[in-house]
Amino acid sequence: MLLSDYDGTLTPIVDRPELAGLGPGTRKLLETLSRRRDLSVGIISGRSLTDLKQMVGIAGITYGGNHGLEIEGPRLSYLNPAAQELRPALGALHQALSDALGLIAGVWVEDKGLTLSVHYRQADEARAGEIGDILEQKAGPLQASGKVWIAGGKKVYEVRPALAWNKGEVVALLASRWRQAMGRDEVLPIFLGDDLSDEDGFRAVARLDGISILVSETNGASAARYFLRSPAEVESFLGMVLEARGGQ
């Protein structure tokens, strides 16, 4: 079972998320791997499900959007009901944050339906603290009531439903579904990721005796057992997986 994050893992981090398209080599490898009966392919991302499917566009694989709050794949469709209930509150928060942060150059707030992302990669680094303070102030009531929590990432803040659901839970769910589909007791999960939100996935893979891979220029503290330096090395790794499964 081959699972991967998208941004920063299969594609390089770019200034605008809509520019992070799959390279032709990586796309071809994923398409080829997805056609194998002895392998299941999935992409779990912080992007919305709709956005992720549009960016990847490969049939027959599993897509996990909003860190797995919404999932679609072969014989699988999942939408977290508690997250769905928070849509109106997050919509109102999106408007409040857009109004408050709209005057800071290089900042934009993305409404992903079940979560929000405050992007500040293009903003002045000196204003990062101010951006975080405004976010804490506006999201304060929802956070204090235990409905949402705020997570940091690579030049992004994310507002997510305060639920016991993360990429680790998604890995465990998909492993269970794959075991049932294959009629086998065990499955070898492989999970690749590059950011803090992927650490839950690494820990879940460790519990399943799988292969966890951090994609980073530096091998820092992580629950991942192995690491690759870049999406270019991920492409090479995918080629190795294909070769190990018998090539074309």
- Active site positions, annotated: 5
Between CA 119 and CA 158 the distance in angstroms is 9
3-state secondary structure of 65: strand
Q: Is the Cβ–Cβ distance between 179 and 186 less than 8 Å? A: yes
For residue 59, CA distances in Å to 173, 192, 246 come to 20, 20, 21
Q: Which residues make Cβ contacts (< 8 Å) with residue 187, sequence separation at least 6?
A: 1, 175, 178, 179, 208
The secondary structure element, H or E, covering residue 109 is strand 108-111
